[in-house]
Every structure is written in structure tokens, then in C-alpha cells.
Structure 1
């Protein structure tokens, strides 16, 4: 049939029918395959807030365990050291936190300890307030041993039980810090055998500074286990007092993701300039805030703090089992260290718990 010989009204109606049939989806194909879908909005999860390249993102039961471990008992002040030689010969795993002056380190530690109302780490607006290296013990609920006769506060580290972790608050570096403190800090980072990982705080709002790059390059070159924490990440995610809507939250998480990518690229470029060629270094970057909560219902659970807690426990081998409970191998009797000989024996026993001693 010659369509052109049909009357114009019938020809127009036929054209419309053919056009509709051509652009109608077949009944066996879903519409989503034919129409371009908009990208899904990012929601707040450990994998979207943080940037994991080495370890797997923690599961909800990991975060619950880490929260309980740090919140079950207040931290114990153990020691203050003005220099490397002043550190006690402790057999317990240690974690160090350091960063530029006024990067929010003390506020982060108080949030880590769950002590936002009672300040264990001193918070000050004046840079360089922390001038000594201070050790705080977190037991995860295991009670301390009996106080030695020579005084409870002087030898508190002797009562600290196995299965806990010692968090060391380092002096800040940068504008408000002294060169002498930096020398002692590096002695600890390079020579302290109990140190499992060093967490370096970087201001998420301002990014890497020159002193940050120098420190991170030194840790990288010396092979010192370290991890970056972006503090004050609420400045990117919560720009106003009200919680962000879904679109704004997704945009903020994309900014954080780009910031983490930029930090890695910057450090790899600096390594090439220094003549350290090779593969790019994989590095987990954690993001947190000591000010803002997860949401309106969980204001006391600060943003990203439980992920930092889990990273601390993972670095010290204090993870939970698949049921979210403390591993049985960590449940040991508490022994009071009376003298140096007891300390040596305990340290030897801890060494034999390692897999290579089996």
C-alpha cells in the first residue's frame, strides 16, 4: 500500500501510530534500562565517611564493640613524660596522637574517651598548650589492680591490666610548639617498641600544611606505621547548625572523598620529589568530628569517633570476635607489677602470645 496516496487525515493518524509504537518499551524490558537514572545520593556510612584502602570498613558490631570498649570505664591517667627516657618500661600496646597546634587533638581525645563534659585532655585555644607526652589507659572495663604502697598516682601504670591500650597525647607541632619537643617526639616515634601506630591529625577545613607533609614524609621514609585522621570534618558536612538534607550531605561526602584523594596524590608527589620512587602508598584516611553527632537521635555519638576507636583496637590486636565479644585470649588475670623483674616476666609472656611464638 502506498501511504502517500492516502487522504491527509488518515496519513497523519497513521504516522502518529507508527511513532508511538516505535518509542514504546517492550513489555518484557524494565523502564530503568531505557531511561537514564540519576546517580544515587550518598548516605552516611563508615565506607562513605572514611577512605579505606588497606583495611575493610568496620561492620556495625565492630563499632558497637569499639564504643563499649572506650565508654565502659573512664580512662586512667598513667604517666607524664617530658622526654623519651621518661617513658615507663610498660608491656602494654600504645597508640600516639599528634598534629599541628590547635588542630583539635585534645577535643578529639576527649571524644575518643567519651568524656566531652569532663576534660581528660586539656582543651585550649592557645596553640602549644600540651607540652609533655601524657599517657592515658583504656581498659575496656577490666578493673585496675590494687594500688602499690608507694602511691596510687605515681605508679598507676603498674596497675594497668593486660587487654587494654595506652593512648599517648603528644605535644602539637607548628607555630606554637618548640623544636625541643619535636626532637623528643621523633625519638618516641622511632624508638618506642610498644608503639603500634601513630595517628596524625589534619584539619579537614584547611588541608595539609607544610609541617604536616614533612612529618608524614618522615614517617613514610622511616617505615613507621601511621594513619591520617581528618579532624573537624563537620565543617564540610555540617556547614550550618541544622543537620544537612540528603542532597547537601551527599555533596559534603563527595567533598570529603575528593579531599582524601587529593591528600594521597599530594603525598605521592612529594615522595617522588624526594627521590623515593616506586608504587603509590596505600593509606586509610579516617574522618571525624568531636563536635557534631551522627544525627539528631545520636548526638552523643560523635561523627566518625567509633571508627577511630576501632582503628585503635585493630592496631593493637584487640578486636572482637564475630559475635562482637572480647576475645577470650585477652581475658587474663590482672597482675600487679611490684618490681622490674615482674615487669620483664610479664613482657616476656606478652611476647609469647604472638603467632610466631606458637
Structure 2
């Protein structure tokens, strides 16, 4: 399968709507099925959002770069999540926000800046099943791996697409993919090609819309319209698959959104702009359960949902 480049347009760009900085304060922007507005974040959501935040900020390390499937070291036990998107969709900015760092992935205004698959390790390996280790293998240092990929579309290389397709179909440790869409109504044929590749590989898929803050005051309405156009495409695609790539098991029906100016969050990079909600969704896709911590306390002391430790992160059975 070839990821084709998008046609280059010489039309003058449309005036940008005023930036809506209120988006930066939101910990989650999640559109659930049959809802035209983002789901509210409740007090019950806070413990799992906090646990995911702590997990993503722990034990960060750049591991390696790979230009071909054969360059990836063998990994049989650490779950991997791959980040996909068109050139300049904001993958590097997104990864930096996930990790709460500005220096993890290099951000460039030049399309096609990322030319290899770059792999990052994060989180405690505490809940990885050590019984799966083969003799002579080193114990894992991380609980999750994130893979930044070359952008497809404008200025992308066909062989990059071939490498990614092979990874999606053959990497046993792959648990899911995050597919970034640039903005509402801006899906290209290249996006649909990648989505089809994910379906054919039976790879669990999470859709995330980027740059929500560039949509102006009516950002929620515009995002909702985009979500309503995306889900029918997903359902039509899943109906053509016979490998189990269905709603809920193959593609995640909840569609998330994030803002481009995530540095503007009042509490720092990665604390707002919808990023905490995406972290939690990624951990769920990777196979983790985030459970509220229950502590023994006097009956007159109520749990306020703010204290969460890594004891609250459980591996799904």
C-alpha cells in the first residue's frame, strides 16, 4: 500500500479565527457516541486522569530510531502505541505534551521533518508480566513505548509508508494506534488510506483531532460536526472487515480533541488542552486499568480524589 502525497494548493489561506484559549484549560475533550458536546469531566474522573499523568511523566527515555522494521529490537512484553498523522499535523507537539516535556520530539514547521520511527519509553514496568521474559532477556525498564512516525502526505516518502505498514502488520507488541486529524472537515485521501491500513491490520485505533483552539469560539460545534462525519466512515470501513476490527474492539467510538497551544495551559505543558484525557485513553488501549485509590481512613474523612499513586494502575487480565 502506498501513502500518496496530497496535492499542493496555491490558493491564499483563509483568515484564521481568533484563538480560543479556554480550550487550554480543559483536561479532556471527548466526544462520546450520541453526544454533540464534549463529555464533562467529573470528580470521579480525576483519580484516573491524575494516575495517567504520573505514569506518562515517569521514567522518560528516548530509546532508539528505526528506518525499517528489522531495525526495531525484539520486544515481546512492553506494550507499544504508534502515533500516526499527516505531515505537520502536530505529532511532535502532541508527543511533547503527552510526556509533559518540550524536548522529547523535535518540533519543526517544515513538512516531513521526522524521517524515522522514533521510540520513547515511559512509565513504571511494575505491572508488566515478568513471567513472559525469555532466558537471558533483561527486565523491562518501562511500562509503555510510544512511537513517533514520519508524517504522510506532502513531502513524505513512499518507502516510509511501506515501513509503517509492515510495522502495523508484524509487530507483536503493538497494542494500538493514535491517528491525528488536522482539523474538522480536513480529512484527506491519505488519512483514509492509513485508516484502511489500520483496519486491515486489525490495529485498535483512537482518533484525535488537533488544533481545537484555532477554531474560534464555536470550536465545540465545529469539532462535533467533524466527529459526526468521521464515525460513519469508521462504521462503513469496519463493515468491510472480517478480522474483528469493529466499533469498540477495533476502533474506539470516543473521539478526542486537543489544542495546538498546549503550552498556554495555566499549569504547564501537558496539563490541559485535552491531553490528560488522551493519556488515559492511550493507557486503556495499551491494556491498563486506572482505578481509584482506596485508603483506610477515619470514617469522617472523605476521599477528595486528588491523591493517586501507581498502586492504582492495574494491568488488565
Shift of the alpha carbon at 1:275?
Answer: 9.4
Q: 29, 48, 52: which one pairs with 2:32?
A: 52
1:88-112 CA deviation, whole Å, 9 max, x = no partner?
Answer: 1123111100110110000110111
Shift of the alpha carbon at 1:207?
Answer: 2.3
User: Which consecutive unaligned segments of at least 5 residues does structure 1 have?
Assistant: 1-43, 143-156, 240-247, 331-352
Tell me: CA distance 1:271–1:137, structure 2 relative to 1, closer, same or farther (3 Å). Answer: closer
Query: Matched residue of 2:228: which SS?
Result: helix
Q: 244, 257, 260: which one pairs with 2:224?
A: 257
RMSD value over aligned CA atoms? 3.3
User: Is the Cα–Cα contact under 8 Å of residues 70 and 140 in structure 1 kept in the other structure?
Assistant: no
Query: Matched residue of 2:289: which SS?
Result: coil
- 1:171 is aligned to 150
User: Is the Cα–Cα contact under 8 Å of residues 125 and 141 in structure 2 kept in the other structure?
Assistant: no
1:60-82 CA deviation, whole Å, 9 max, x = no partner?
Answer: 11111111222244x20111111
User: Which consecutive unaligned segments of at least 5 residues does structure 2 have?
Assistant: 1-24, 127-136, 294-307
- 2:66 is aligned to 81
1:102-139 CA deviation, whole Å, 9 max, x = no partner?
Answer: 100001101111012xx211111111111111110002
Which runs of at least 4 in structure 1 moved beyond 3 Å after TM superposition? Answer: 44-47, 157-160, 266-272, 279-282, 292-295, 297-300, 327-330
Q: How far apart in 2 are the matches of 1:284 and 1:176?
A: 31
Tell me: CA distance 1:182–1:253, structure 2 relative to 1, closer, same or farther (3 Å). Answer: same
Shift of the alpha carbon at 1:46?
Answer: 6.6
1:234-274 CA deviation, whole Å, 9 max, x = no partner?
Answer: 112xx3xxxxxxxx4xx4322212211111224445677x7
Tell me: CA distance 1:196–1:211, structure 2 relative to 1, closer, same or farther (3 Å). Answer: same
Shift of the alpha carbon at 1:160?
Answer: 4.1
Q: How far apart in 2 are the matches of 1:140 and 1:289?
A: 28
Shift of the alpha carbon at 1:314?
Answer: 1.1
- 1:344 is aligned to none
Instruction: Calculate the TM-score normalised by the size of structure 2.
Output: 0.70
Q: How far apart in 2 are the matches of 1:99 and 1:166?
A: 18
Q: How far apart in 1 are the matches of 2:313 and 2:213?
A: 38
1:142-184 CA deviation, whole Å, 9 max, x = no partner?
Answer: 7xxxxxxxxxxxxxx957425x101011111111111101001
- 1:235 is aligned to 214
Counterparts of residues 296-335 of structure 1 (less than 5 Å) = 297-298=266-267, 300=269, 301-323=271-293, 324-327=308-311
Higher relative contact order (CA 8 A, sep 6+): 2
Tell me: CA distance 1:67–1:107, structure 2 relative to 1, closer, same or farther (3 Å). Answer: same
1:213-244 CA deviation, whole Å, 9 max, x = no partner?
Answer: 111123224322111111111112xx3xxxxx
- 1:124 is aligned to 108
- 1:151 is aligned to none
Shift of the alpha carbon at 1:329?
Answer: 8.4
Shift of the alpha carbon at 1:212?
Answer: 0.3
Q: How far apart in 2 are the matches of 1:67 and 1:195?
A: 21
Shift of the alpha carbon at 1:316?
Answer: 1.9
Query: Matched residue of 2:176: which SS?
Result: strand
Considering only CA atoms, is the larger Rg found in Structure 1 or Structure 2?
A: 1
Tell me: CA distance 1:122–1:140, structure 2 relative to 1, closer, same or farther (3 Å). Answer: same
Q: Does 1:108 align with 2:88?
A: no
Instruction: Calculate the TM-score normalised by the size of structure 1.
Output: 0.63
- 1:181 is aligned to 160
Q: 63, 77, 84: which one pairs with 2:49?
A: 63
- 1:345 is aligned to none
Tell me: CA distance 1:53–1:140, structure 2 relative to 1, closer, same or farther (3 Å). Answer: farther
User: Is the Cα–Cα contact under 8 Å of residues 56 and 122 in structure 2 kept in the other structure?
Assistant: yes
Shift of the alpha carbon at 1:325?
Answer: 3.3
How many residues end up aligned between the 2 structures? Answer: 255
Query: Matched residue of 2:62: which SS?
Result: strand
